[in-house]
Chain A
Amino acid sequence: MSVLSVDNLRTSLVIGGVEYHALREISLSVAEGETLAVVGESGCGKSMLAMSVMGLLPSVAAITMGHVTLDAVQIEAASESVMEHIRGAKIGMVFQEPMTALNPVLTVGEQIAEPLRDHLGLSKREARKAAVALMEKVRIPAAATRYNSYPHEFSGGMRQRVVIALAIACRPRLLIADEPTTALDVTVQRQILDLLDMLRTEGKMGMLLITHNLGTVAGHADRVAVMYGGDLVESATVKELFRSPAHPYSRALLASLPRVDRDLSELASIPGRVPALINMPEGCRFIDRCPHAMERCHTMPPSVAVGESQAHSVRCWLHVQGGEDAAEG
C-alpha cells in the first residue's frame, strides 16, 4: 500500500502576471517502509515538489492540476488548518539546516515534547518521558541530561538528530527529508542516513529523500526519481537506474560523477545550464542540452515504460515506439 501518491501533479508559479509550470505532470508513489529518492540539480523542482506535498508553497505558487494522496486521503486542496494537523501528525520533515528548524531559546527536550502534547495529547510528565525515549532512539548520548540543553550546545550532527526526533515524534506515515545531510561532514552524513534508514524500517514509514547527491541515493534508497527542469524525467529502482539509465539527462548526470573508488580519464559534462523557469522550452525541457534532440522533442514527451518492468519509466521520445534507437550514441 502506498503511503504517498502524487498523481499528474502540476504546480504553477505566477511571475509578473504570467503563469509558469514549475512542476509538470509529476506522478510518483512511496510505499510503506520504502525510500524514494528524488534527485536533480538546483532548479529541477525537487524542493518545489516537497513543498507541494506538504502544502507549504509560497504565496505566488499553487497546485493547479492533479492530486496528492496521503494515506488514502486527498490533500492537495486541504485547508491550512487541516494541513497543519497533517504536517504535525502524518508527515515528518527533516531539512538541510537543522538550526533553522529549531527554536534557539527553548531546550531541545521541550521542543520534542511540544508536538507530543499538542498532537498526541500527552500530559507534561508523559511527554517528557516520551521525549527522552525519542532522544535515545535517535542515539543522542546521555539523553536524560541533554533534555535540558539548548540547540547551540549541540554539534551539527546532534542537532540533525534532534530534528529527526522531532519529525518522528508523532509516528508519521511519511518522512520528507530535504537534503538532510548536505550541511554535514561525511562521517556524520553516514550516521544520519543510517539512522533514517533504521527509523524508517522500524516505524514502517515511507520516506521521500530529496537530494542532489547520487552517492547518497545509491546507498540509501530503494527507488529513485530523476527530475530536470520541473519534469520527472526518469523513475526506476536504484539498481536499474545506475545499471541502465534511460534518459539522456540521467546518463549524462551519472557520467559526470567523479568516483572515489576508481580512476576516470575525463568526466562527461553537460554543456550549457538549466534554463530559467521563464524561458523553459515548450516540449522536453532538456532539449537545448541533449545530444539526441530531434524534431519531436519540441512537444512534451510521454512517460513510457522501459524494458519489461513496469517499475522503470522514462519521459523521452527516444523510448517511444517508432522513435530512434534507444541505445547509446
Chain B
Amino acid sequence: MLLKVEELRVSFSVRTGWPFPETHELRAVDGVSFDVREGESFGIVGESGCGKSTVARAILRLVDSKSGRVVFSGIDITSIPARHLRRLRPRLQMIFQDPAASLSPRMRIGDALAEAIRVHAIASGPDIDALVRNALAEVGLPPESANRFPHEFSGGQKQRIGIARALVLSPSVIIADEPVSALDVSVQAQILNLMARLKKERNIAFVFISHDLGVVRHFCERTAVMYLGQIIETGSTRNLFDAPKHPYTRLLRSVSPVPDPEKPAHLDVEEGEPPSPLNPPSGCRFHPRCRFVTDICRSETPDLRPVGAGFVACHHAEALPPAES
C-alpha cells in the first residue's frame, strides 16, 4: 500500500461569542481511514465544511493531526521529525485549488522550478535547465515560460505550472485539492486530461478532492464521501454513483446537475443544510436531514462497515429501498 490513512483526527479551536468569546473544539476530521494504491486515484467528495481539504492538509502535515497515522511507503509520517519529512516531501506532492495563490508572486517560473530541483539536489548545473524545460514541455508549456512571472499566465496555465513544479520532484502521490474548480469548463477538461496522462505514463497516484461528482467520476477509480468530518460511504466510484447506498450519497447524487434535459431531475429535494461542524448532531450525523431516520440513528453513531461491494456508515444500509436513478 502506497499511502495509508488510519483513524485520522484533526481538531481546531474556535473562539465564538461576544463580548466574552469561548473556545470550542471543532472536529474537522473525526476518524478518517482509507488507503491509496500505486497509480490509483482516490476521490474524496463532500460539501464545504465536511473536512475534505483538512484531510489533504493533514496528510501533508500542513496542519497537525490530533491522533491517527498517515503511513507513506511504510513510514509513519505523522511522527517523524520535520527534517526527515523534508527528505520524503518530493515523493508526496500537492496541487492547489487556486493556482494563482500557490506560486510565489515574485519568482520567475524557471527559478521556482529550479529552486525545488536544487533544494533536493536532483540535478546540478545545466541539467537543471534541461529538467525545467522537460517539465514545462510535459505539461504543455513553451520553454520561454521559464522567464515569465506567474501573473503573466492564465488560470489554466498557472495550474499547469503548479503541476510541472510537482513533476520535477518525480512524486509517487499527488494530493490534488479541488484542482479544477477555479477553472472554466473547457480548461478544466484540458487539466483533467493532462492529469490522466501523467497518471498513466508516470504511474502517479492521486488523492483527488472535489465537490464536483462529475469530475470525480471521470478521474477516480475509488471514492469516499465525507459528511461532517467522517467518511460515510466508500467504494468503487462507478458503484458509488450508480447505486449509492447511504442516504447522503443519494442526496448528493440526485442534486448533482446532469447536463441532459431529457433526464428530469428528481423533484423532491429536502430542505435543510449541513449543520455546523462545531456542534454536530448526536448519533448518525446525517440523521436530522435523513428521511429514513429511526431512533437508533439519533443515539448511536454507525460504523463504516462492508455493505455489498463497498463500505457504508448507515444503520439501515441493507434495508433501504434501492436508489432511483
Contacts and interface: CB of A to CB of B under 8 A. Distances in A.
Interface in B149-203: 154, 156-157, 184-190, 192-193, 196
Contacts of B238: 263
A125 interface: no
A267 interface: yes
Contacts of B193: 266-267, 269
16 contacts: A158-B273, A186-B252, A187-B47, A187-B251, A191-B271, A214-B257, A215-B258, A218-B258, A218-B259, A239-B262, A242-B262, A256-B188, A257-B189, A258-B214, A259-B214, A261-B258
Contacts of B263: 261
A216 interface: yes
A286 B47 CA distance: 35
A68 to B, nearest CB: 27
B217 interface: yes
B185 A257 contact: yes
Given A215-B214, A216-B257, 9 more contacts: A186-B47, A187-B274, A215-B257, A218-B258, A258-B192, A269-B189, A270-B190, A271-B190, A273-B187
B269 interface: yes
A192 B271 CA distance: 10
B76 to A, nearest CB: 34
Given A215-B258, A218-B260, A267 B274 contact: no
A41 B258 CA distance: 18
B231 to A, nearest CB: 18
A190 B255 contact: yes
B241 interface: yes
Contacts of B212: 258
Interface of B: 47-48, 154, 156-157, 184-190, 192-193, 196, 211-215, 217-219, 238, 241, 251-253, 255-265, 269, 271-274, 325
A158 B272 CA distance: 10
Contact of B154 (A217, A242, A273): A273
Given A218-B260, A267-B189, A260 B255 contact: no
Interface string A239-255: 10011000000001110
A42 B255 contact: no
A202 interface: no
B257 A219 contact: yes
Contacts of A239: 261-262
A185 B52 CA distance: 14
Contacts of A263: 217-218, 238
A155 B273 contact: yes
Contacts of B214: 215, 257-260
B218 A258 contact: yes
A122 to B, nearest CB: 29
A268 interface: yes
Contacts of A107: none
Q: Interface centre among A189, A194, A216, A259, by most B CB within 10 Å?
A: A259
A238 interface: yes
A312 interface: no
A187 B252 contact: yes
Contact of B269 (A42, A158, A190): A190
B269 A191 contact: yes
Contacts of A106: none
B269 A194 contact: yes
Contacts of A171: none
B260 A212 contact: no
A96 interface: no
Nearest to B257: A215
Contacts of B211: 185-186
Nearest to A268: B189
Nearest to A183: B48
A219 B265 CA distance: 7
Interface string A171-192: 0000000000000011111110
Contact of A185 (B157, B188, B273): B273
Contacts of A185: 47-48, 211, 273-274
B271 A257 contact: no
Contacts of B196: 266
Counting chain A CB atoms within 10 Å of each CB, the highest count among B157, B184, B251 belongs to B184
Interface string A256-287: 11111101101111110100000000000000
A260 B258 contact: yes
Nearest to A216: B257
Contacts of B252: 186-187
Contacts of A259: 214, 217-218, 258-259
Contacts of B187: 41, 269, 273
B218 A242 contact: no
A320 to B, nearest CB: 25
B292 to A, nearest CB: 16
Contact of A186 (B156, B190, B256, B271): B256
B261 A269 contact: no
Contacts of B241: 260-261
Contacts of A252: 186
Contacts of B265: 190, 219
Contacts of A158: 273
B183 to A, nearest CB: 9
Nearest to B248: A187
A318 to B, nearest CB: 19
A261 B263 CA distance: 10
Contacts of A269: 186-187, 189-190, 193
